[in-house]
Amino acid sequence: MSFRSIEQLLRRNSKTKISRNIVDRNHDQKEEQLVQSLRELLLASKQLPDKFDDYYVLLRFLKMRGFNILKAKEMFLNMLKWREDCSVDAIANDFKFEEYDAVKRCYPHGFHGVDRFGRPLYIERVGSVDLSKLMQVTTIDRYVKYHISEQEKTISLRYPVCSLVAKKHIASTTAIFDVKGLGLNNFSKSAREMFAEIQKIDSNYYPETLNQLYIINAGTGFRALWKVLKTFMEARTLAKIQVLGTNYLNTVLEAVDPSNLPEFLGGTCTCPTGGCLLQDKGPWTDPEMIRASKEAFGKGQKSFNELAATIACESFTGCQVGFDTGENILRKQVDEQILEKIRELEHCAAKSGETLQILICKQQELTGHIEQLRKILQ
């Protein structure tokens, strides 16, 4: 059954206006076919856990790999292996970051409301980090685990709640990094190691969860550092990053309402009790929205297949898909790659033939010279 068929089922059986609005949208047909192809490929090899049997999850991996199904599958399987090797589910459920408050004091960061589209807004005051104190209250390993736990919370809670509030699918974050005062001189080896590890995790295992990153207050020192940092990033990620100087406000306000922007960045928000970046401000902290999210999506971002499984099995057994199957699309993609390789080999063979003809001519010329030399000796 296609994802579109499942969404039609959901529209007919949704109990609330909100849930209907979330699924009531048309997918790009070509993208839908490729997602279905990747899904069938993973199901055929029994490599698609229920937790990740989700249209938008598979679409993220396809986008990150330029809609190449084989590369997207490889990336997806690498993600599953990493989750198993690093016990990511255990981190998400059991990891306790007791040094949370102490870390926030020397590394100001956190979620703070939403952007104008309804996506979570994440802010870091990178230039204000006291790295020596940070390494006294935590370790790189523990901070990386904390980062993973926050990524899991964003996917399982923040995105579903934001989707309910915005009444449309939300699966990415808008971020602001204030780098005032940051440069090569105060970006230590520990900072580089932590940045590289977090960047690798986000890019490889949580692809396409960044909508836009605004790097603000970038001075000459940071711009020199940026030349180094961007070597760790993929081109697709770099395209989502804007590096801005001190005149950043108008650009940022195009994406973020002033009420969701802290006063210290030029907005109007002045959160009480410790400041804006200690609050985890957002609709995901509202108990009613959390409850509604769990009812709509279950625990985590439940897939459309899971939501409609019972209905689909009872009412639509044997439903035919109205477009190319995943096997056919995959076969076409493999055939194209084989044909391209054949063309390369034919080109090499032609070049080799030309080279061979030149060598034969040279050999004949040498044979003629040898015969002439022998006649002189006689």
Query: Quick one: average pLDDT of 106-110?
Result: 93
Higher pLDDT, 185 or 213: 213
* Per-residue pLDDT, 26: 61
Alpha-carbon distance of 304 to 7, in angstroms, equals 7
Alpha-carbon distance of 306 to 150, in angstroms, equals 24
172 has a pLDDT exceeding 80? yes
355 has a pLDDT exceeding 80? no
Please check whether the domain covering 96-285 is classified as CATH 3.30.420.40. Answer: no
Q: Which segment of 22-31, 105-114, 237-246 scores lowest on mean pLDDT? A: 22-31
pLDDT tens digits for range 182-199: 887 777 888 888 888 999
pLDDT band at residue 369 using 50, 70 and 90 as cut-offs: confident
Query: Quick one: average pLDDT of 247-273?
Result: 93
What are the extents of the domains in the chain? 1-85+303-356, 96-285
Alpha-carbon distance of 19 to 160, in angstroms, equals 11
Query: Quick one: average pLDDT of 38-47?
Result: 95
Instruction: Look at the chain and count its residues.
Output: 378
What is the amino acid identity at position 282? Answer: G
Query: Quick one: average pLDDT of 102-108?
Result: 93
Question: Residue 24, Cβ neighbours under 10 Å: how many?
Answer: 15
Higher pLDDT, 9 or 103: 103
Where helices occur in the chain by DSSP H, the ranges are 3-13, 17-23, 29-44, 55-64, 69-85, 88-94, 100-106, 131-137, 140-153, 159-166, 189-205, 220-229, 235-238, 249-255, 287-297, 304-315, 326-377
Phi first, then psi: what are they for 113, rounded to 5°?
75, -155
Query: Quick one: average pLDDT of 164-185?
Result: 92
Query: Quick one: average pLDDT of 251-270?
Result: 95
- When the pLDDT of each residue in the chain is averaged and rounded to a whole number, the result is 83
Q: Which segment of 130-134, 230-234, 272-276 scores lowest on mean pLDDT? A: 272-276
370 DSSP assignment: H
Q: Which segment of 49-58, 92-101, 224-233 scores lowest on mean pLDDT? A: 224-233
262 DSSP assignment: B
115 has a pLDDT exceeding 70? yes
Pick from 149, 110, 160, 126: nearest CA to 290: 160
Q: Which segment of 235-249, 321-335, 343-357 scores lowest on mean pLDDT? A: 321-335
Whether this model's pTM surpasses 0.85: no
State how beta strands 210-216 and 241-243 pair.
parallel
Percent above pLDDT 70 for the chain: 81
